Amino acid sequence: MPPFTKYLPHLGVTALIVFLAADYFPQSQSPSSSTTGKVREEGSHTEGSHNEGSHGDGGENLSQEERERRMGIFHYNEGNKFFTEGDFAEAIIRYKKALHHHKGFKQATINLSTAYMKSKEFDEALKTLQEGQKKFPLDPLIDYNFACYYSLTGKLGPGLSALQKAVEKGYKQFKQMQSDPDLSNLRQSGEYKTWGESVLPQSDS
């Protein structure tokens, strides 16, 4: 399925929890790219955990903005933990809390849309993706999750269009695209097969 960018490194969650115990809110360090260190959940895209590393700052000297950002990262990592455990309802709560504290948190937006799709709350998934597209119009994972949403809801034309946009914007996880169960309906269409024959072999070689 889409969203929980299907990319969840286990290490990040553990590391953050350890840091937080000793350091209030450690400092964020995203994975080297949005598609690295992923743990494959069956379906769409989700972003991996953020590690906050201690820099000797116990939190007392942080600005309110930085405290909010770090609180957002804490809830985001908690959401990833619940997502990997299959507790999508709790993951949704955590991702929403992450966005409450850190409103421009792209990864939380992507993973929230995935968690909604996992929970079959498609209206909420669509709303989340539409908001994400306004904030992050150039991010290919938003379009990828749109493709998953359309595939799951039987709207194959818009699904293929969204997938094509994702590739045009730089999405290169072609093996994921070919195996993602959320795209299963879309992959059965003749239009997808025609497009895939011309695009995927070249890109995946």
Domains in the chain, please, with CATH?
Answer: 10-200 (1.25.40.10)
pTM score, whole prediction: 0.75
| Phi and psi torsions of 20, nearest 5° | -65, -35
12: confidence class by pLDDT, cuts 50, 70, 90? very low
For residue 46, the model assigns a pLDDT of 76
Mean pLDDT to the nearest integer, 55-84: 85
**pLDDT over 50 at 18, yes or no:** no
Q: Look at 20 and 87; give whichever has higher pLDDT.
A: 87
User: Which residue's structure tokens are 């994702």?
Assistant: 166
For residue 152, the model assigns a pLDDT of 97
Residue 74 CA to residue 59 CA, distance in Å, equals 14
15: confidence class by pLDDT, cuts 50, 70, 90? very low
- Per-residue burial over 170-184, b if 16 or more Cβ lie within 10 Å, else e, is ebebbebbeebebbe
For residue 149, the model assigns a pLDDT of 98
Residue 157 CA to residue 132 CA, distance in Å, equals 21
Q: 4: exposed, middle or buried (C-beta count within 10 Å: 0-12, 13-18, 19+)?
A: buried
201: confidence class by pLDDT, cuts 50, 70, 90? low
